[in-house]
């Protein structure tokens, strides 16, 4: 029989499961954790490879005289990063309460600073993208 106590958000969670269920759960849990760790690692490795390739492509574009196009792309990357941080911060930190930037003292202050950084990346990235677009249009002789 298990004993329950209230958790962080008021739900009840078992604190002392019986021995048989622990053995079964640990065997399956180890397999699930190993599988998740493997695929998570492969996913992160592939994102780093794609990021590296993208940076090399931007670097080549800038060397070949496409500075404005590169600025536009870098701006969009920064804006996307900021947008992701804003959505993830609001949903995971505030609505769902899944995790926090830094749990403990001043939890809310860290979460708000994270949201402010996301907003700054979004606005700054859009400004940089717009600047790159204007430079690219001017180079192509397109009136804006």
How do residues 58-110 score in pLDDT, each as one tens digit?
888 878 878 888 888 899 999 999 999 999 999 988 898 888 888 889 989 99
Q: Taking all residues of the chain, what is their mean pLDDT, rounded to a whole number?
A: 82
Instruction: Give pLDDT, residue 17.
Output: 57
Task: Read off the pLDDT band of 127 (50, 70, 90).
Answer: very high
* CA neighbours closer than 13 Å in the CB half-sphere of residue 64: 8
For 102, the enclosing helix (H) or strand (E) is: none
Count the Cβ atoms, other than its own, within 10 Å of residue 78.
20
């Amino acid at each position: 029989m298990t004993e329950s106590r209230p958790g962080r958000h008021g739900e009840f969670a078992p604190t002392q499961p019986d021995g048989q269920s622990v053995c079964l759960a640990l065997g399956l849990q180890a397999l699930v954790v190993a599988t998740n760790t493997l695929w998570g690692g492969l996913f992160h490795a592939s994102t780093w490879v794609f990021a590296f390739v993208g940076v090399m492509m931007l670097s080549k574009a800038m060397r070949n005289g496409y500075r404005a196009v590169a600025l536009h792309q870098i701006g969009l990357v920064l804006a996307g990063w900021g947008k992701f941080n804003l959505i993830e911060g609001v949903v995971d930190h505030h609505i769902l309460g899944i995790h926090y930037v830094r749990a403990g003292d001043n939890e809310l202050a860290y979460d708000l600073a994270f949201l402010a950084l996301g907003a700054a990346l979004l606005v700054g990235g859009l400004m940089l993208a717009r600047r790159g677009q204007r430079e690219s249009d001017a180079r192509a002789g397109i009136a804006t």
